[in-house]
Amino acid sequence: MSEMLERLQREKIVAIFRGIEDRHADRAAEALLDGGIALMEVTMNTAGAAGMIGRWQDKYGERAGIGAGTVLDLDMAKEAVAAGARFLISPNLDETVVDFGLKHGVPVWPGVMTPTEIVRAWKAGAEAVKIFPMGTLGWKYLAEIRAPLDRIPMLATGGVDLDNLADYFRAGASAVGMGSKLVNLEWVRDGRFDLLEERARQFVEAAKAIG
């Protein structure tokens, strides 16, 4: 088990930064850090993503695990790793990205939906997978596929909120990924970083209470 997978299973929450403006990004990251969030992904379709990842690795690398999301192909994977990403998350399964991560010591958690895709990702070398889109599939789907595939750690992304967080963990999620529920861009633009910190704290406490 990689250090990052161990951390994922311990921390239980990955904050997804998608479309955040660079001028607000550091304050938003600091608000989540202060609220207890220790794993953050910057999606590669965010303007200036690579620069943000590199800067955060320098500024927050001792406190947080900084990774890249929406890594669709090998070129994006190379750019993210060169920027300093400690993990790569995709909405899709690309075995060349998984292989690249293995060769460079950077865990890749690819996006999968079906049991066949989950096992393909695992056999390709992914030590965890992202079940996506959870907002549509729901935690009951996760519970069903976990029954025969319980050896493979699963990150549930999409549709997770405070009122159903426990359902996802009871269904077998090792961790959850959350975007706008944690990184509310309206609050960011309004400078309400206190609200971001408080929301982060609520999720962290809820995840710890589940155990």
Place of tokens 């955040």: 20
Has 130 been annotated as catalytic? yes
Has 181 been annotated as catalytic? no
Place of tokens 């220790």: 38
20: helix, strand or coil: coil
22-34 vs 193-210: helix crossing angle, rounded to 10: 40
Return d(Cα 20, Cα 31) in angstroms, integer: 14
CA distances from residue 208 to 54, 130, 169, 187, 211 in whole angstroms, order as listed: 29, 21, 11, 25, 5
Choose, from 30, 41, 127, 197, the residue flagged as catalytic: 41
Return d(Cα 71, Cα 105) in angstroms, integer: 16
* 125 Cβ contact partners less than 8 Å away, ≥ 6 residues apart: 98, 99, 101, 102, 108
Choose, from 11, 12, 130, 197, the residue flagged as catalytic: 130
Q: Which amino acids are annotated catalytic? A: 41, 130
